[in-house]
């Protein structure tokens, strides 16, 4: 099952078989895992099987088995089960970002099979021709969402889980009693290695409704009836060998069964293709028959084929062509049962509520794009570094797309006619700051939509700041705007400004406390998890050439906590990297983890530092290769999860403050450096300022004042006699309002502070 398309003719397959790897259905593995946590599902399964057996008592199997392929006794030829569907594209702007038309065409393909209109039923081997069933099922993309808004029945959700998929990637589910939810991703997580898709059957869905539906790799959307197979599971069909995933394993005596009589006993077929060995496998089906009471009350023997139904859509042969009549009856009985609301899906009230039978509405397009450097998604850049902006507009056929860019873009405006998902514009920028990107998308007959993206791409300044002038306190009234943060996946885990810090009331905080989780009450979110997430903040460009030789350190203070005391669960990481080629490539400078990040241990509530004693100094030696005239730094935080498989956040909040560059490591360039206490007063000032130096008797204090661009505007020195000295900075040198850097050196110790003039 769940198979890549077989592009070879039947003759070629008979000669050569399949020479490449295929993926499988993981419904049985997923069921096994979830049963460990919810054994009550077994009771629901037994109850539903009992209901189905009761519902099928009226069928005369002996008569049904005798009918030719022209008459299907499984249902009235005029009755159809109409099922509302919603397709969720879970993506990270990769190849899984399918077009709307791909989805529309896929639904048509699924419906051909569910109407027994697939032409390959003509090639079903003779013993099973009279057993081909017609499900009489029609899938319809919903035209109304749960709030009654018009829709095409397609959602899109960007997440890192697009390549680490599983139940946690099932975002944006619509009520499963009203819609059949189908999710498509790029890759499954390691827990589903080898999977192409999987689904939960109604008893499981009844217990855990938010996982109800099918999740599949994007490239299996129409491959060898993968979705028909998985939807079969949603309607309570098993694999022909029963509820285990060991196709082709074991022995006939193991007795696996799918509770459907006209699928003869089989061990299953593990990716064999339409080979004679699979098509005429008699290993478990020899002399297979069933005895039924007929309508006259007499026993009647039905001699089923002595070969397995390897062309069954619920098998793994990659030769799927048919459902049997018995499977159709089982699906219909399930659709008439209340378990997991299956009987509600197709009733008239729900079809009206979901707009399933209405014509697809004309909707305005939804502008969307991604930005990349080379093949890497990138939203931070430097002047002159070109990014590619690729169209991802959806929700309608777009006839025209107008782009506009600010910040001195090399292509400030451009128009693309009939754009596709691969249409793009390249742009570099001269001006720093957040770029305003405007997209105007015009649909065919639906009007146009204009969206302004004002916090998607940031350009750092063209001129680098001298390293000696950087003492970053992350104050929003000063230079915080030069340190952009990116919450790439728009979730609760992110960098943000905090109103507490080591030196003042400001710092950079990583919000790592998962407010969705309450282990004490057993509350865990059904979707989403921190694993795989990452968030960045960036420095402005730094000029480190003044420290090209000798020592050079990046110094800062941090404090943080975890949510768990188990060291195996403390997996948060911060990676500090640098770029010397204007954000084109990045080199790792330092990786901080465990106690280096989370010095306060386990705290069950959101962590907030309360005193300077909570903070620890950090120093990172900067290699010579990174001491250029234009260097940017990236601080990437990766929240961790527990090791027990619950996939919940075990981190807490983390703070970083007072970042600076110095020849001396942190611990020397502290607020108070050894016995040296130097402070600038008054600060801020509108007149003279003074550097007050204490406890540095019999030394000479040197004071250097620079503007924010690094230009020295005042320099003086003064011998210190006694325990305190006041060194004046005359107003005449600091008349221009703004921020100045004041560096004080005495006794081999150096301290740099900001002076604000208003």
CATH number for the segment(s) 369-459: 2.60.40
**Torsion over CA: 441, 443, 448, 451 (sign):** negative
Question: Taking Cα atoms as reference points, which of 239, 156, 240, 231 lies closest to residue 197?
Answer: 231
- How large is the average pLDDT for residues 376-386? 98
Strands 535-538 and 632-638, how do they pair?
A: antiparallel
Using 50, 70 and 90 to split pLDDT, how confident is the model at 515? confident
- How large is the average pLDDT for residues 494-499? 97
pLDDT at 296 over 70: no
Query: At how many degrees (to 10) do helices 325-335 and 41-55 cross?
Result: 110
**pTM tops 0.75, yes or no:** yes
Domains 369-459 and 677-757 in one fold: yes
pLDDT at 6 over 50: no
- How large is the average pLDDT for residues 383-388? 98
Percent of the chain with pLDDT over 70: 90
For the record, the structure tokens of 280 come out as: 């005429």
pLDDT at 248: 67
pLDDT at 748: 74
pLDDT at 516: 79
Instruction: Judge whether 472 and 754 are in contact, CB under 8 Å.
Output: no
pLDDT at 141: 99
Using 50, 70 and 90 to split pLDDT, how confident is the model at 392? very high
pLDDT at 480 over 70: yes
- How large is the average pLDDT for residues 430-441? 98
The arrangement of secondary structure in 465-662, i.e. its CATH architecture, is Sandwich (2.60)
pLDDT at 212 over 60: yes
Using 50, 70 and 90 to split pLDDT, how confident is the model at 294? low
pLDDT at 7: 30
Using 50, 70 and 90 to split pLDDT, how confident is the model at 72? very low
- How large is the average pLDDT for residues 188-192? 92
pLDDT at 486 over 90: yes
Encode pLDDT of 626-683 as tens digits.
999 999 999 999 998 887 666 778 889 999 999 999 888 875 344 434 345 788 988 8
pLDDT at 157 over 50: yes
Long-range contacts at 255-262 (CB < 8 A, ≥ 24 apart): 258/314, 259/49, 259/52, 259/330, 260/324, 260/326, 260/327, 260/330, 261/61, 261/290, 261/302, 261/304, 261/326, 262/61, 262/65, 262/131, 262/304, 262/309, 262/324, 262/325, 262/326, 262/327
CATH number for the segment(s) 677-757: 2.60.40.3080
Q: Which fold has domain 25-245+325-354?
A: Collagenase (Catalytic Domain) (3.40.390)
Most confident range (mean pLDDT) of 31-40, 199-208, 675-684, 698-707 is 199-208
Using 50, 70 and 90 to split pLDDT, how confident is the model at 67? low
Please state the domain extents for the chain: 25-245+325-354, 369-459, 465-662, 677-757
Mean pLDDT of the chain: 89
pLDDT at 593 over 90: yes
pLDDT at 697: 75
Q: Which residue has the higher pLDDT, 233 or 682?
A: 233
Region of poorest pLDDT, from 44-48, 265-269, 573-577: 265-269
Question: Taking Cα atoms as reference points, which of 28, 460, 503 lies closest to residue 233?
Answer: 28
Encode pLDDT of 333-370 as tens digits.
999 999 999 999 999 999 999 999 999 999 999 999 99
pLDDT at 388: 98
Beta strands per DSSP E along 529-615? 535-538, 542-543, 553-562, 573-579, 587-593
- How large is the average pLDDT for residues 744-758? 84
- How large is the average pLDDT for residues 55-60? 80
pLDDT at 377 over 70: yes
Instruction: Tell me the CB-side half-sphere exposure of residue 383, using CA atoms within 13 A.
Output: 14
């Amino acid at each position: 099952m769940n198979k890549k398309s077989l592009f070879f003719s039947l003759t070629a397959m008979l000669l050569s078989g399949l020479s490449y790897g295929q993926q499988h259905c993981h419904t049985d593995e997923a069921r096994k895992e979830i049963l460990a946590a919810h054994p009550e599902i077994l009771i629901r399964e037994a109850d539903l099987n009992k209901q189905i057996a009761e519902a099928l008592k009226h069928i005369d199997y002996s008569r049904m088995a005798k009918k030719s392929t022209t008459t299907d006794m499984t249902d009235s030829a005029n009755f159809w089960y109409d099922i509302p569907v919603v397709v969720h594209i879970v993506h990270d702007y990769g190849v899984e970002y399918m077009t709307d038309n791909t989805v529309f065409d896929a639904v048509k393909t699924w419906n051909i099979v569910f109407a027994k209109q697939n032409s390959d039923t003509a090639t079903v081997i003779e013993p099973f021709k009279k057993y081909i069933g017609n499900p009489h099922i029609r899938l319809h993309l919903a035209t109304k969402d749960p709030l009654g808004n018009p829709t095409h029945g397609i959602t899109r959700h960007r997440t890192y889980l697009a390549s680490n998929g599983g139940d946690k990637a099932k975002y944006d589910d619509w009520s499963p009693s009203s819609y059949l939810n189908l999710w498509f991703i790029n890759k499954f997580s390691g827990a589903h290695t080898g999977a192409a898709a999987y689904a939960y059957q109604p008893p499981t869905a009844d217990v855990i409704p938010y996982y109800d539906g099918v999740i599949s790799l994007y490239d299996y959307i129409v491959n060898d009836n993968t979705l028909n197979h998985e939807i079969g599971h949603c309607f309570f069909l098993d694999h022909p060998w029963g509820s285990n995933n060991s196709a082709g394993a074991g022995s006939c005596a193991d007795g696996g069964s799918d509770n459907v009589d006209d699928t003869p006993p089989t061990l299953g077929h593990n990716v064999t293709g339409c080979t004679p060995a699979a098509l005429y496998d008699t290993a478990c089906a020899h002399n297979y028959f069933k005895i039924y009471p007929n309508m006259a009350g007499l026993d009647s023997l039905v001699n089923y084929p002595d070969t397995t139904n390897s062309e069954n859509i619920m098998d793994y042969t990659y030769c799927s062509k048919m459902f049997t009549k018995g499977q159709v009856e089982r699906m219909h009985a399930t659709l008439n049962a209340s378990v997991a609301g299956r009987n509600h899906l197709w009733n008239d009230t729900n079809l009206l509520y979901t707009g399933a039978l209405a014509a697809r509405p004309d909707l305005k397009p939804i502008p969307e794009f991604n930005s990349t450097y080379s093949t890497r998604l990138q939203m931070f850049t430097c002047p002159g570094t070109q990014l590619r902006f690729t169209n991802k507009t959806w929700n309608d056929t777009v006839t025209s797309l107008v782009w506009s860019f600010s910040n001195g873009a090399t292509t400030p405006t451009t128009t693309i006619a009939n754009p596709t998902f691969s249409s793009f514009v390249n742009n570099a920028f001269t001006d720093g700051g957040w770029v305003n990107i405007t997209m105007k998308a015009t649909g065919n007959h639906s009007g146009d939509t204009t969206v302004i993206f004002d916090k998607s791409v940031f350009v750092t300044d063209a001129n680098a700041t001298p390293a000696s002038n950087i003492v970053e306190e992350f104050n929003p009234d000063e230079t915080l705007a030069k340190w952009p943060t990116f919450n790439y996946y728009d979730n609760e885990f992110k960098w943000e400004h905090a109103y507490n810090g080591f030196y003042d009331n400001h710092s950079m905080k990583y919000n790592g406390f998962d407010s969705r989780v309450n282990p004490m009450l057993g509350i865990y979110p059904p979707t989403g998890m921190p694993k795989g997430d990452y968030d960045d903040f960036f420095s402005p460009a730094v000029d480190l050439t003044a420290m090209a030789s000798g020592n050079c350190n990046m110094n800062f203070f941090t404090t943080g906590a975890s949510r768990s005391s188990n060291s195996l669960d403390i997996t948060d990481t911060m990676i500090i990297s640098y770029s010397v080629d204007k954000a084109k490539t990045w080199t790792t400078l330092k990786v901080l983890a465990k106690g280096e990040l989370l010095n306060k241990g386990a705290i069950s509530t959101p962590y907030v530092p309360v005193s300077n004693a909570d903070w620890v100094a950090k120093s990172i030696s900067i290699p010579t290769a990174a001491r250029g005239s234009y260097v940017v730094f990236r601080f990437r935080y990766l929240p961790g999860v527990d090791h027990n498989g619950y996939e919940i956040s075990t981190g807490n909040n983390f703070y970083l403050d007072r970042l600076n560059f110095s020849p001396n490591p942190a611990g020397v360039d502290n607020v108070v450096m050894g016995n040296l206490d130097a402070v600038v007063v008054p600060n801020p000032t509108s007149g003279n300022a003074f550097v007050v130096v204490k406890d540095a008797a019999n030394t000479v204090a040197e004071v250097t004042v620079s503007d924010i661009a690094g230009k020295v505007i005042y320099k003086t020195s003064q011998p210190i006699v006694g325990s305190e000295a006041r060194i004046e900075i005359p107003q005449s040198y600091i008349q221009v309002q703004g921020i100045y850097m004041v560096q004080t050196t005495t006794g081999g110790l150096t301290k740099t502070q900001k002076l604000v003039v208003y």
